Amino acid sequence: MPPVKKRRRTPRQLARGVRRRTRRAAGRLRRVFWRSLQLRVVTSTLVISIAVVAVLGVFLEQQISASVLNDRVRAATSEAQADRRTVLGFLAQPESEASKQSGDTGKTLQHSGESPLGEATEALANRAGSAGRYSVVIRNRRLPGAFFGTMNIDERSVTEKMREEVLKKDAGENSPWFSDLYYEGREGRPVPGLVIGTRLDTTGTPLVDDGYEIYHLVPLDKEEKTLTSVRQMLVVVGVGLVLLLAAIASLVTRQVVTPVRLTRQAAERLAAGRLDERLRVRGEDDLARLAISFNEMAANLALKIHQLEELSQVQRQFVSDVSHELRTPLTTVRMAADLLYDAREDFDPMAARSAELMQNQLERFESMLADLLEISRYDAGAATLDVDSVDVRDVVLRAVADSEALAERHSTRFDLRLPGEPCMAEMDSRRVERILRNLLFNAIEHGEGRDIVVSVGADRDAVAVAVRDHGVGLKPGEENMVFDRFWRADPSRARTIGGTGLGLAISREDAMLHGGWLQAWGSPGEGSQFRLSLPRAAGTELRGSPLPLVPPEVEMRRTWRGQMTPMLTPATADGGRDAD
């Protein structure tokens, strides 16, 4: 068999996969971020600290740089003034023949002693010292090629733009620039520097013309190294400070978050039923008082729950005892009532009617007593199932047959919608039949004489029965309350059918005992529907129901209304009346 070639992924597929993994990673990080209070606090502290340290670092760097450069500018300005006086003194001396020759030919000199400018340049070089603290360039606009400089300064250090600015200003007025300095023998590598240019003030020295320019050039490489070291130090200190603040924030937050986390865990265990859960109290601060308050709350809650459990146990025991105690006298009374009911034809009409009424009320009393005994068995956990494989349709037909007489008295008819094939399921048919009878009785009582639809559905895993009435319906929120014990939708409304108000509560317990669902839907004016869903096999988990909880006609009507509402114009919605 030839080896299967692995399909190569296209760049688009690779990009899609990268985006998908990136989104998943971002989602995980987002969940971790929002679930961790400590992480959020540390992150916020880091962001704020970085911003503050960055602002302070930039401010300090600017202040230090300005201070260093301003000091250097002041010192250079003072030196430039002294250099101007020196040059002016040399130029005021009578010119020699050498200077005339150099001036006539435009010869470029580097501090030659053959002329006053050369002597001045040499004097300035000696003043700058061997360390080369600064350089001086002397130029004359009337001699374009003339250039006198010290310390091997290159002619490119003084640009034409600088000369234009100097010539625009008055004599003796300084023009500072921060520019690159070039030196001969350094392979063209520039050095950061300061250039202070000015025209010589020849007032009072008629022997000197006013065309001379003098430029004081100060290298700032040492200052640049100093500022670079300062910047590096600020970065190191800033990073260290941010990390230190993050560590402090993490430590402080941990001290606060840890007790809160322990409180949350204790609250979760308390909610899970561990009523003996308590917190350890340490210290006397707010967190300690929180632990004390939590412990007091837990103790009071445990006490109240224990009291309610005892009260509930007493009530259950009372109901069970009373129900059992009433069985014997009720049996005796029932036997006597049966004798009177059988002999009612021998009585006068009033006595015969009394015997019939007593018989009916005894049947109602027996039903109420049976409900009380059944609910007490559920409370005691003694309810069991007698499971057998039966056809749900047969159970429905028996429940409907038991309810026919009551339906006729209320002018109600049943609309049965049963599938053609058997709907087999493992169930306790007696309990399921009781559930359906309770649902049918409830539908008859609240159906206001309209037809009741009984539907049966089945799929591979479950069977379901739905009882639909078209009566008063249920208000929002009553879908769950209807299964509470002794609950009544309208307390002022008298029951037309006997009962204790436990029928639906017992029905729900029966459904849960089967591992099924008993659910209700209702809407005012649209009636209600109760749906019983049971698994086909006893003990399996129910995952869905074959029948919808909301009646299909109601769902279709709501969908149609939702589609038609945007299509209505104001005139149509207002009854078609036109404004005058």
Q: Which amino acid type is present at position 1?
A: M
What pLDDT is recorded for position 414? 92
DSSP sequence for 498-552: ---S-HHHHHHHHHHHTT-EEEEEEETTTEEEEEEEEESSTTSPP---SS-SS-H
Count other Cβ atoms within 10 Å, centred on residue 437.
18
Both tokens assigned to 210: 């006013």
Joined together, the tokens standing for residue 347 give 């009585």
Backbone angles phi, psi at 248, to 5 degrees: -65, -45
Report the pLDDT value the prediction gives residue 394, as an integer from 0 to 100.
93
Which neighbouring-strand residues pair with 535?
A: 462
Say which residue the tokens 């349709």 belong to.
Answer: 393
Helix and strand totals (H; E) in the chain: 14, 12
State the Cα–Cα distance between residues 457 and 445, nearest whole angstrom. 25
Can you read off the two tokens belonging to residue 394? 């047969």
Count of C-beta atoms within a 10 Å radius of residue 9: 11
Residue-level pLDDT at 578? 37
| Predicted pLDDT at 416 | 93
- Asked if residue 76 lies in contact with residue 177, where contact means CB atoms within 8 angstroms, the answer is no
Is 222:71 a contact under the CB 8 Å cutoff? no
Q: CB within 8 A of 302, min separation 6: which ones? A: 275, 276
- Among candidate residues 180, 205, 194, the one with its CA nearest the CA of residue 136: 194
Task: Output the pLDDT for position 417.
Answer: 92
Domains, the chain, ordered by start:
83-222 (3.30.450), 275-383 (1.10.287.130), 388-490+499-566 (3.30.565.10)
Report CA-CA distances (Å) from 327 to 69, 266, 302, 364, 381: 109, 48, 37, 14, 21
- Note down pLDDT in tens along the chain; length 580 residues: 455 555 666 777 788 888 888 888 888 888 877 877 778 888 888 888 889 989 998 999 889 888 888 888 888 888 777 777 777 777 666 554 434 433 433 333 344 445 666 666 677 766 665 445 666 776 666 666 566 667 677 777 777 788 778 777 776 677 788 888 877 766 667 888 888 888 776 655 554 555 677 787 888 888 888 888 988 998 999 899 888 888 888 888 888 888 888 888 888 888 888 888 888 888 888 888 888 998 999 899 889 988 888 887 787 777 777 777 777 788 888 888 888 888 888 888 898 888 888 888 888 787 777 777 777 777 777 777 888 999 999 999 999 998 998 899 888 999 999 998 999 999 999 899 999 999 999 899 888 889 999 999 999 999 999 999 998 888 888 888 888 877 776 655 555 555 567 788 888 988 999 999 999 999 888 889 999 999 999 888 899 999 999 998 888 877 776 655 554 444 333 433 333 3
Q: Residue 311: what pLDDT? A: 82
